[in-house]
Chains A and B, each alone.
Chain A
């Protein structure tokens, strides 16, 4: 079974400042890793995913994430945030060998301060 921990339920950050949203996972099998974004009153949009290869993954809207196998982490970063980045961010994992589900963390609300 897999689980995902997002320790920060909310992260306030000033506009144009950098941000890191933390994600740790637990799994007895190899996993794929994902970050999804949910803008207010909208659905879930894929930001980026790690499948294999380079541990630094670049996604949409200037976001990137780094897979660290030894620390079982997949932290999301952006060098300079904008008001439009205000949203809920979900880290998720799925079993590489199965297609039966994707498991989400509890989410981190990114609050951009003017």
Chain B
């Protein structure tokens, strides 16, 4: 079964550093998403991306965040200057012609 692949599975970074989280969505999917889950809390929407542009973003997705689809297969989330409160599990998801959202296994980001 096709999968959404996220790398790395765990990243530790120092406060103030830039971090890039990587995702490879399912190959024929057209819609891409990032979500985050702070430990013990709900899964929160960050941003959706379609046709090479952001289609919607939440209030969490401020100027410190950006997304990019640099080639035909990768979808990245960049956090420019990480804060302690950015520590969370970040999930990438993709969606195709059918109705459904396939999630990756997540990247656990720890900001120290």
Contact = CB atoms under 8 A, between A and B. Distances in A.
A24 B103 CA distance: 23
Given A99-B31, A99-B48, A101-B48, A44 B43 contact: yes
B55 interface: yes
Interface residues of B, number: 23
Given A42-B105, A104-B43, A106-B42, A32 B48 contact: no
Interface string B36-59: 000001111100101000011000
A56 B105 CA distance: 28
Interface string A71-97: 000000000000000000010001000
Interface string A22-65: 00000000001010100000111110010100000000000000
Nearest to A42: B105
A102 B45 contact: yes
A107 B33 CA distance: 20
Given A43-B91, A49-B99, 19 more contacts: A34-B101, A36-B103, A43-B103, A43-B104, A44-B43, A45-B103, A46-B100, A46-B101, A49-B100, A94-B101, A99-B31, A99-B95, A102-B45, A102-B93, A102-B101, A104-B35, A104-B42, A106-B42, A107-B42
Interface of B: 31, 33, 35, 41-45, 48, 50, 55-56, 91, 93, 95, 99-106
